[in-house]
Every structure is written in C-alpha cells, then in structure tokens.
Structure 1
C-alpha cells in the first residue's frame, strides 16, 4: 500500500490542474498554446523521469529510486503553490512530472516484485486504484477550495495569497500525501529480486522470509537465484522473442491506453461539460462524479483481474469504451448535448476504462518481462505511455477548437477500436504465472 501511494500522488498531480487551470489562465492571460503547455509540461517531466528511472533503479535500487520520486513530489507541491510567474509554475510542474514519471515505473514494479503469482494482478491493480483515488481527491479538494469564501485583504502574507488565489491552495494540498509517502517509504524493504542481481542473496533471503512462510520463501529464493544466474550469462537484444513480443505488446497497450482519451477527460473535463451547457459550477460537480466512478470500478478490476484473466477484462472494457466514445462523438457532432446524457456516456467510458484498460495495462507491463531486462523494458513502455499522454494533453485544446468535440471523440474511439482487435489477437494471458515463468508465455507455442 505504501508503494501504491506513488499512484495516489500520480493521480493527484495530473488531476489537480483541471480545477486550477481556468484561474491560472485568467490570472496570467494564457492563450490556447500556453494553456496546453502548462498542462503538458508536467507530462514532459514524466518522460524525463521515466528515462532516468531505467538507469537509477538498476544502479541504486528500487527503494532509493522511489524515495527520490517522493522528494520530487514534495518539491513540486510547494513550488507550484508560490510561483511569481507562469514560467516558475511550469518549472515546478516539470519537477512534479519527473516524480510522477519515476513513480509510474518504480511503484508498480516494486509491487510486482513483492507479490505472489496468484495475487499479483490484484496487487498491481491497487496501484491503479491509488491513481483513481488521487484523481478523486484532487477533484474533491478543488471543489471544496473553489467554494471557500474569497476574503478581502490587502495583506501580502502567504495566508492571504492562498485565500485570494485559490489555485495556489489547490497545489499546496498535494504536500500532505507527499510527506506521508516520504515517511512511510523508509519502512519499505528493498526488492529481493534486485538484491539477488547484485549478489546480496542473504539480504534477499531475510526479506523473503519476513514476507512468506519458510518453505515458500526458500523455494522462491531458489527460483529467483536460478533465473538470475541464467539471465546473467545472456546478452539480450530486442530481437530475442522473450523481449521483442512483450515489448511490442507493452508499447501498444501503453500508447492506446492514452489515445482512448482518458486523460483528456481528466485534464479538461470541466471544459467538456461546459461545452455541453452544463455550467461551470455543475461541470466541477460532474467531474467529481467521474472521479468517484473511476475509483469504484477500479475495485471491480481488483476483484476480477486474477479470477477472469487480463484479456477478458480488456475485451469487455474496450467494448464499452468504443461504444461510449462513438456515441458521445455523435451527440457533439449533431449539437444535441443534454448534460445528463453526456455525463452518462462519459460515466460508461470511465467505468469501462477503470476495470479494464487502466489497471490491466499497468499489470501486464509490469509482469511480462524477464527480471534482467524488466526495469529497462518497463521504462521504455512507460516512456511511450507518457509521450502519448503528452501528445493528448498538448493537442486536445487545439482539436476541440479546430475540429470540434464530436470528431475528437471519434478519433479516440477509432484508436480504442484498434486496441480492441490488438488485445484480442496479440496480447498474451499472463495471470497465474510467476515472474520467473513469464518467458515461457511468450516463447513457448500456444
């Protein structure tokens, strides 16, 4: 649960901008391009964070890397609260993005490396649940803060600044979970799998025996050691079937998770609902409803990921995603956009994403690679995820203005339809296998 807090900060950091954006835009007179840059600057930081995590995690270990990510969150929360210019705000958004990028690689990987095979899907899904909880917390926090009385004062104190410019308070709230995350991480042990790759078998043994019954711990220790010895003699390239196919699967799932439009709705939800004549106040409330549904249906994934398998959840979820996006696009294209109907369709989209594409993408990416290349391969997949996320964050406002909401939703629908056929025909089932058995899933004939 401590590792999953990285997901909570990930969700909070990406969603808090939705409530603060219009206030910042008005105060700093941002045009559409600068609005997109303010949102996507955090995503650019994520890409940087992912790139350095691949190097750091193998060199200094999983624990020190996630501690560094937690520190980045705290610096960003404080820095984004008190900038004197939009350039400073973008800089600290970039710093927060680096933390998010690092956590998005290392948090679910740490969970995967500690979890037992029969519960690994559920355990990694807790990371996605934490993301949705962070998003919901940001929405509720934004609604509460925006509803506080403005106050009248000429004082230049920090307290007065937070009252007069509420977007600063919205960012500052993130410091609370950041401090909690940082403190709790000191009690988390290092990954036994990483320790064994560094020849620290005794330390790994102590940690495994703390986590498992003695017989199971000994058996797992032997399996990890054997796999590490075998992998240390191999010179892997992307052409190796044990890496090439899962790498393709991971990249495609990561990119099309973002091209479903999920983060466009998270970042710009109030703007979408306002365009459906929901009114600014109702738009914020609708956004909070979306956050609650996101959390509830992620719990469905936790209950079912190990029972029904990864592919079944992808099939069911993508069916609902495609239907809701095509229908929503039709409503906006025709100009018939009753707020309740638009909300219902987007709720269907969020629900289907939350029990399928959201958690299952993270589960598969973090469990299908051999230990010796896991952090590098996961970093590559996650980097593509954040690049796709950045593209959506940067160009979604432009798409809304240039081609309209209808065609924009249809673009997301077509991307999700491609993902549906890819998931049915190419993605391999990974549930119930140990991390050391995973190579057989992709190399052995099925």
Structure 2
C-alpha cells in the first residue's frame, strides 16, 4: 500500500472541501456590512444567506448523474471553475438580486464538491485508513472555514470590505483547478465502466501489484447484479431503499443539529449578546481554530473508536451544550466568557463527531453500483436541510428569541441520538464491499 500517494491524491481531492468550507463561511463576515448596504430585514438576510444552498441542492443532484456517467475527476474540475467565477462575480454584485444569483451559482460548486471529494477519497482508500482519509475532507472544510474567518477579520477595515471578502475565494479556486489534473480517476468507477486496464494501473499505484487481483475481484463481485449506469429509480429498489433513507437521515440531522446556525450566523448570535462587530468577527476566528483542532482529534479517533460510538457521543453532548447556550441567554450570562466557552465546547464536540463522521458514513454505506447516485441524493437532502436552516435561523432567533431557538436544536439532537442508536450500523474496519454485503443480509 502506497500511503504517501494515497495521501497526496486525497489532499488534492479534499481541496474541494476547503473551497466548500470557505464559501459557506465567508458569508457570515459580510453580514454586518451587506445588511445595511442592501437594507436587508431578517427574511431578506435569510434569503441572501440561504440562496447558496439552493445551488448546493441542485449541484449535488446533477453531480450524481455526472459522476456516474463521466467519472469523479471531470466534475471536480468543473466545480473548481464554478468556485473561481462565482467568487469574483459575488464581489462585483451591484444589487441584492445579482448577489443572490451568483451565490446560487457558487452553490452548484459547493454541492458538487461536498459529494465528490469524500466519495473520491473513499474509493481510493484501503479500509484500514478509510475513515481517517475521508476525514481529511472534513479537515479541509474546517481549514476553509478558518481561512474565511481570517479573511473576514483582516478585510473588515478595507473599503468595499464585503466585496473583497467574497472575491478572495477565487485564489484557492484557481489552485484547486490546476492541482486536480494531477489525480487519477477512481479505480472503482473505471472497473464499473469496463476500463479494467486503466483501473489496474491506478490500483498498482495505490496498493502495489500484489493486492490488485484481490481488489479487482471484490469490486467485480459487488457490481455483478447492479446496473453500471445507475438510475434514480434504482434507489427505491428492495435492499437499497432502506440504505438510501438511512443516508438521508444521517445527512439531514447533521445540518439541523444547530452547529451550522453557529457557523453561518455567529455575528447575529454574538450581537444578541451585545458584542461589537470586531468582537463578533474575532469570536468567529476562535470558533474556526477550535473547529480545526478538534477535527484533527477526530481524524485520530474515527478508525479507532468507531463511527457509531462517536456519533452517539456527539449528539448527546451537543444536546447538553445547546441547553447551556439557552441558559446563558435566559439568565443573561454575558459577563465574562460564559457564552463564548459554551459555544466553543459545542463546536469542539461537533468537530470531533458529527462533522467528519457524517461524511465518512455517507461515502461508505451505499452499494458500489449506485454509490454516486445515492451519495448525490443524500447530499441533496443535506443541502435542502441546510437551506431551510440558513433561511429560517435569522427569523427564528427574532420571533422565538434565542432561548427557545437553542432549546429547539437541543431537542433535535436528542431525537438524532435515538435515531443513531436504533438504525445506524458500525462500519469501522470493513471494506466497502463488506458493508454492502452486510446490508444485503438485513
């Protein structure tokens, strides 16, 4: 097994995750500036913020068809181009309508990268390190989030600050575009499409000559009774339908757990606590640093502790910290650092558990023959939930007040704990084909 080569191509694929993180986080720093510039009320802010996820929904759905038809590599190249163009055009937007339009376009790139990067990494990684390798994508996402927060903080004093914040995403997009040409096509996709010679060449670089035949036979076996050109209708067939609904549940609960409300609207939350703009943006940097540090911890744990245990621990602890955030607002505990500490503990828990492990599970539970299509459907559901959250949160926190809003998220996390405990299997240490066979027996 050539771990160095696997790491290198996984890092390149994970660059899509970095841009994904950058694009979703850059908006939060622009809120104090675009809200007065475009005279946005709570609903208007929710629409501008959530419009990205309209693109994400349809980008993920379209990419499922593209990736099963054209492979994993070409859609990654397309997503890099979309990232670069949309970043520049958001910075040049002359009206609220133009900004919304280019955020929807940017969402196509985010939606594509959100499913392609973990999917590609899962398909080139051996079982023993697959959890850690797919977690690289989450690491890249949180690095992208932190870079966006730093960009926002340092650009806040510039003229036309919000324009520079949006446009700054073009630089990493161009780097991704050039790097992605260096990675090979997924060997599993090549085998599924009858390109065995090319697949064997890639597997030789990944696993070494001795393991090629075993891997080829395992993939061939899993593809034996599936259609190479998957259709959406295949996803509701007996034996696949339950797995698809399971993937959708995992995806949706991650988004409505409350964590992304903190990432997207931290300035709104801290404004409710009476903080000034510079303090709000600095708090975001602390969130980004904690997010990064605990994602690194998650990468060490995911292949040791197991997926299910980490998800159960995460959902229960997040429910507890959301109750404490609600208590901070109810009892006005804004003196000192109580609110900041509880928010950081909540983000640390999310970064160690739900954030990375969700993508690991989504990338590995689906059968080989429909994996691209199934991942796209689960990711579509994820972004639909994300859109609903991003649109509703500014209105929720205004109508319900912060206490009730965070109590609602705490209840959702508790329900997710029960869902995980009852339905989600442990997949640690199993090949993708073994996972597929285990579901087939249920």
Partner of 1:159: none
Count of matched residue positions in the alignment of Structure 1 and Structure 2: 429
Correspondence list, 1:72-83, <5 A: 72-83=82-93
Match of 1:201 among 193, 196, 199: 196
Structure 2 Cα separation of the partners of residues 186 and 437 of structure 1: 31
Cα distance between partner residues in 1 of 2:222 and 2:422: 29
Aligned-pair CA distance for 1:178: 0.1
Aligned with residue 30 of structure 2, among 8, 17, 20: 20
Q: Is the 8 A contact 2:31 2:267 kept in 1?
A: no
Deviations 1:15-56 (A, max 9, x none): 001111221111121222211111011011101101111111
| Distance in 2 of aligned mates of 1:364 and 1:100 | 19
Describe how 1:306-345 pairs up with structure 2 within 5 A. Answer: 306-338=303-335, 340-345=337-342
2:185 to 186, 190, 194: 190
Aligned to 1:115: 125
What SS class does the counterpart of residue 337 from structure 2 fall into? helix
Displaced runs of 4+ in structure 1, greater than 3 A? 232-237, 334-339
Tell me the CA shift for residue 441 of structure 1.
2.5
The structural deviation recorded for 1:259 is 0.8
Aligned residue in 1 for 2:351: 354
Aligned to 1:297: 294
User: Which of 21, 30, 50 matches 2:40?
Assistant: 30
**In the alignment, is residue 246 of structure 1 matched against residue 243 of structure 2?**
yes
The answer to whether structure 1 residue 224 and structure 2 residue 250 are counterparts is: no
Superposition TM-score, scaled by structure 1 size: 0.93
SS state at 1:425 partner: helix
Change (3 A) 1:221 1:392: same
Taking a change above 3 Å as real, the CA distance of residues 184 and 237 of structure 1, as seen in their structure-2 partners, is closer
The CA deviation at 1:254 is: 0.9
Contact persistence 2:235–2:374 (CA under 8 A): no
Contact 2:66 2:75 in 1 (8 A): yes
CA separation in 2, counterparts of 1:314 and 1:376? 24
Aligned to 1:146: 156
Structure 2 length as normaliser, TM-score?
0.94
1:336 Cα deviation from its structure 2 partner: 3.4
> What corresponds to 1:136 in structure 2?
146
- Equivalent residue, structure 2, for 1:155: none
- 1:89 alignment counterpart: 99
SS of 1:17's partner is helix
Q: Please tell me the root mean square deviation across aligned C-alpha atoms, in Å.
A: 1.5
Q: CA deviation at 1:279?
A: 2.4
The residue aligned with 2:4 is none
Q: Contact 1:20–1:167 at 8 Å: present in 2 too?
A: yes
1:172 maps to 2:182:
no
What are the ranges of 5 or more consecutive residues in structure 2 without an aligned counterpart?
A: 1-10
Name the CA shift for 1:236/1:173 in 2 (closer, same or farther; >3 Å): closer
Contact 1:196/1:228 (<8 A) preserved: no
Q: Kindly indicate whether the alpha-carbon contact (under 8 Å) linking 2:328 and 2:338 is maintained by their aligned counterparts in 1.
A: no
Q: Give the deviation of 1:214 after TM superposition.
A: 0.8
* Distance in 2 (alpha carbons) for counterparts of 1:205 and 1:121: 23
> Any conservation in 2 of the 1:276–1:339 contact (CA below 8 Å)?
no
Aligned counterparts of 1:27 and 1:277: Cα–Cα separation in 2 = 21
Question: Do 1:143 and 1:284's aligned partners in 2 also have CA atoms closer than 8 Å?
Answer: yes
Q: For residue 363 of structure 1, report the CA deviation from its aligned partner.
A: 0.3
Q: Does 1:267 align with 2:277?
A: no
Equivalent in the alignment of 1:288: 285
TM-superposed CA distance for 1:230, in Å, is 3.4
Secondary structure of 2:179's aligned partner: helix
Q: 2:429 aligns with which of 424, 428, 432?
A: 432
Structure 1 position 226, deviation (Å): 2.7
SS, match of residue 306 in structure 1: coil
Unaligned runs of 5+ in 1: 148-162
